[in-house]
């Protein structure tokens, strides 16, 4: 593939993706807000809470896009040596990830309808989950075949 | 498909890394071919044969199940 990034991007992605994800997750769980309040001290003024909200949203935005960028870097970076086996493994992993995503979408969709139709946020979470399943499965499978199974 | 790559490589006293460098592939590819997990393309098979100074049929043999 000609649009693959140089190998160094894979290392950058491997760092920023998990860091971005954990910061985003911490923000979702409210830890970031608590840390910000702890750092600057509690205050009930309206301006203060607005500043905390802006800071939290900014951190959420940066961390989420760092995660996305990291996933992109890890997925679309060249290996140290790009050859036919690596290209074949990449293609196989893409195909398998697409299949897993499709099955999970069908099973998830049907089970959600049968058990209990979720609200709007439930659907949104479901579709975001299935989109990420593709990328996470691809990254996991590709790197497992190339770097772990090879040693067995 | 049966392959004799490992035997022929060791006869030539080459390591997996050295052979990989000679045919410009990764070491993982040589490991995968030797373990039978990956069947190389015609081009790579010919390169391996050239480097190891053997015919392709000596390196790779069809089995009854193929």
ipTM reported for the complex, 2 dp: 0.82
pLDDT in tens, B18-51: 999 999 999 999 999 999 889 999 999 999 999 9
Residues 70-89, chain A, touching B (beta carbon < 8 A): 79-81, 83-86, 88
pTM over 0.90: no
Give A140's contacts (C-beta < 8 A, 6+ positions apart): none
- Cβ burial A17-32 (10 Å sphere, 16+ → b, else e): beebbebbebbeeeeb
Which chain A positions have a beta carbon within 8 Å of B31's beta carbon?
Answer: 150
Between B12 and A116, the higher pLDDT residue:
B12
Number of neighbouring beta carbons within 10 Å of residue A138:
22
């Amino acid at each position: 593939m000609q649009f693959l990034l140089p190998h160094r991007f894979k290392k950058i992605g491997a760092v920023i993706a998990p860091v971005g994800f954990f910061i985003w997750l911490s923000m979702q769980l409210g830890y970031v807000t608590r840390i910000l309040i702890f750092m600057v001290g509690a205050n009930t003024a309206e301006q203060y809470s607005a500043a905390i909200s802006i800071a939290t949203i900014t951190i959420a935005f940066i961390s989420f896009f760092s995660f996305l960028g990291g996933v992109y870097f890890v997925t679309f970076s060249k290996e140290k040596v790009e050859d036919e086996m690596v290209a074949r493994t990449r293609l196989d992993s893409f195909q398998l990830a697409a299949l897993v995503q499709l099955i999970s979408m069908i099973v998830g969709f049907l089970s959600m309808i049968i058990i209990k139709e979720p609200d709007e946020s439930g659907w949104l979470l479901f579709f975001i989950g299935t989109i990420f399943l593709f990328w996470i499965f691809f990254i996991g499978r590709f790197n497992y075949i190339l770097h772990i199974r090879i040693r067995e | 498909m049966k392959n004799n790559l490992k035997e022929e490589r060791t006869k030539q006293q080459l390591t997996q890394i050295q052979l990989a460098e000679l045919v410009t592939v990764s070491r993982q590819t040589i490991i995968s071919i030797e373990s039978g997990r990956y069947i190389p393309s015609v081009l790579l098979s010919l390169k391996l044969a050239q480097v190891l100074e053997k015919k392709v049929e000596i390196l790779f043999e069809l089995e009854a199940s193929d």
